[in-house]
Amino acid sequence: MNLQGKSFLMFIEDIYEDLEVWYPKLRLEEAGAKVVCAAPEAHKVYAGKHGYPCESDAAISDVKQADFAGVILPGGFSPDRLRRIERVKELIREFMSAGKLVAHVCHGGWLAASAGICKGYTMTSTPGIKDDLVNAGAIWIDQEAVTDRNMVSSRRPGDLPAFMRAIFAFLENQ
C-alpha cells in the first residue's frame, strides 16, 4: 500500500506498550506515511513499559485533526494518563466526526471510552477493559481485530499483524 503524502497521529506518554507504538509506526512509515507522535510535551523522550524510548514530535496542544488521515491509540498504561487530557479526547472526537481512521489496540480503548465514541460500535480490546468499553456503550467481541465503520480495534501485541491488515484494508477502501 502506498501512503505517500498521508500523515497519522499517534499519542504517547510514559509506560506505553512498546510494540503497540513501534509496530504500527514502522509499518505505516514503511508504506510511505508520516507518523507524528504527540505527547504532553514536544521533543521529550517517553519510556515504554519495556524501556524502549520514543521522542515526541509534537505537543498534543499543537496538533490539529485536519492535518492527519487518522489517529492510532496504542495501549500500555499511557492511555490512563492521556485520557485525563481534554485535548486528547477532543481530537479523538474530531477524528470520529470527520469519518477518519480511529484505531486502538489493547488499553488504547480507554481513550475511545473516555472520548465518548464507543456507543453502538463493535470493538475489541484487552479483556481487562472489556467492562469499561461495554459500560461506554460498545458491543465487545473477542477477535484479534475488528473494523466497524471508521474504527479499528485489536486486543494485544500478538494481534498487531491483524490490526495492521485491518488498518490497511480500511485505508484502501476510503
Catalytic residues, which ones? Answer: 107
Q: How many residues would you count in the chain?
A: 174
Q: Rounded distance, CA 32 to CA 29, Å?
A: 5
Helices and strands, counts by H and E, the chain: 6, 11
Task: Give whole-number Cα distances, 160 to 67, 86, 155, in Å.
Answer: 25, 28, 8
Cell of 70: 487518522
For the chain, the distance separating the N- and C-terminal CA atoms, rounded to the nearest angstrom, is 13
CB atoms within 10 A of CB 151: 22
Residue 140 backbone zone (phi > 0: left; psi -120 to 50: alpha; other: beta): beta
